Amino acid sequence: MFAQLIDLMNILKDQTGLAQLSWGNVFMIGVGITMIYLALVKKYEPFLLVGIGFACAVANVPGSGLTQPGGLFYYAYQGVALLIVPPLIFLGVGAMTDFGPMIASPWLVILGAAAHLGIFVALIGAKLLGFTLPEAGAIGIIGGADGPMAIFVTMKLAPHLLPQISVAAYSYMALMPLIQPPIMKLLTTKKERDIIMEKPRQVTRLEKIAFPIIIAIIVNLFFPPIAPLITMLMLGNLLRECLLVDRLAKTAANEIMNIITIVLTVAIGSTMNAEQFLTLKTLEIVALGLVAFMFGTGSGVVMAKIMNVFSRGKVNPLIGSAGIASVPIAARVSHMVGNRENPQVYLIMHAMGPNLAGVFGTAISGGILLALLGVR
């Protein structure tokens, strides 16, 4: 009788997830809970970390089936895997973004290319650590500081690295205010940080409407690999700038963006299972991501210093770091560092130009990378 009871209990236990629960799962559940803690208590990117942390914790409970076909997390991941989610995020970003500062200061867009040296430092570093070239390319794109683009390129080059790369990219974007200022101060003098830049010109409505149309045509013509993202970015921006369809623009910027954020965060978190995540490769990718962000920040500042010399002291080098993308966090960091140095220094509008150019810089680097590796 007692032995029969034990057998029944064992059968019951085997039906639960307890039988498959590993120490790795327990650790990753802890990681998920830590993310939720950081979001709620430390206010680190709560819109991203709450969903990622929750999905990470639940996905590591064996037996839930949410990440298997039939489970909702599985279908959320399909939205990422089939590259539906990243272009929709770009639609929302386009509808939220005023490209006026970029149009007003065309010479500053070069900072959007300069601040991407980190991509290539991380790419070469990853290759030296033994990653394949497509894997190294996907890791390098973390340095582009653009979450949807990092996901897009990773899904094309090394989809098995999506959890590590997306977590590294979004985490470092959240940590920009900590990573960038020491490098910016190290590479600039007090005199340079004090430079007050001239007010940019006013951009007309006609220019703002022409911008998304012209850029969408050029990108589709010359960069088909990244056209799905930039096209949606430009569509969202056209909805915003034409003024007539503000309902659509608001829907893209709010409702669609919010829904897609939930789907994206759940999808990323659900891929963070212990077997795939708790490896040496994860540590290497996280370290390379940090190196990429540091070099990107540094190269942007150095380029802005060069521009300052050629413009005879008209460019505050602090705006160079904004070229790394991560809109608008990096632009805010440029402004914050300058404003703390001298309360009369207002860099936000000046930094937004290179910051927005950084989105194109990441897209162009990613597009060239895909083309050179023969991926469409």
Residue 145 sits in the site that holds another protein (CB under 8 A): no
Task: Write out the two tokens for 44.
Answer: 């680190």
- Shorter beta-carbon distance to another protein: residue 53 or 320: 320
Q: For residue 126, which of 263, 289, 3 has the smallest C-alpha distance? A: 289
Q: Which of residues 285-344 bind another protein (CB under 8 A)?
A: none
Q: What is the DSSP letter of 252?
A: I
- Find the shortest distance in angstroms from Cβ 126 to another protein: 8
Binding mask 181-210 for another protein (x = CB under 8 A): --------------------x-xxxxx-xx
- Shorter beta-carbon distance to another protein: residue 42 or 201: 201
Residue 221 sits in the site that holds another protein (CB under 8 A): no
Helix, strand, or coil (residue 90) = helix
Q: How far apart, in whole angstroms, are the C-alpha atoms of residue 10 and residue 7?
A: 5
- Find the shortest distance in angstroms from Cβ 254 to another protein: 19
Residue 3, Cα to own-chain centre: how many angstroms? 57
**Residue of the chain from 152, 211, 277, 295 that contacts another protein (CB under 8 A):** 211
- Residue recorded with tokens 């013509």: 221
Q: How far apart, in whole angstroms, are the C-alpha atoms of residue 134 and residue 201?
A: 42
- Shorter beta-carbon distance to another protein: residue 126 or 345: 126
Q: Give 261: exposed, middle or buried? Use CB within 10 Å, 0-12, 13-18, 19+.
A: middle
- Residue recorded with tokens 């990244």: 226
- Shorter beta-carbon distance to another protein: residue 211 or 293: 211
- Find the shortest distance in angstroms from Cβ 374 to another protein: 5
Residue 238 sits in the site that holds another protein (CB under 8 A): no
Q: Which of residues 247-276 bind another protein (CB under 8 A)?
A: none
- Residue 86: cis peptide before it, omega within 30 degrees of 0: no
The one-letter code for the residue type at 187 is L
- Shorter beta-carbon distance to another protein: residue 51 or 354: 354
Burial 169-208 (b: 16+ CB within 10 A, else e): bbbbbbebeebbbebbeebbeeebbebebeebeebeeeeb
**Residue of the chain from 65, 106, 177, 182 that contacts another protein (CB under 8 A):** 106
- Find the shortest distance in angstroms from Cβ 65 to another protein: 38
Q: Phi/psi at 184 (nearest 5 deg)? A: -65, -40
Q: Phi/psi at 79 (nearest 5 deg)? A: -60, -35
**Residue of the chain from 33, 133, 248, 302 that contacts another protein (CB under 8 A):** 133
**C-alpha angle with apex 47: 46 to 48, nearest 5 degrees?**
90
Q: Which of residues 344-363 bind another protein (CB under 8 A)?
A: 357, 360-361
- Shorter beta-carbon distance to another protein: residue 126 or 348: 126
Count residues binding another protein (CB under 8 A).
Answer: 50
Length of the chain (residues) = 376
Q: What is the binding site for another protein (CB under 8 A)?
A: 102-103, 106-107, 109-110, 112-114, 116-117, 119-120, 123-124, 126-128, 132-133, 136-137, 140, 201, 203-207, 209-211, 214-215, 218, 222, 242-244, 246, 357, 360-361, 364-365, 368-369, 372-374
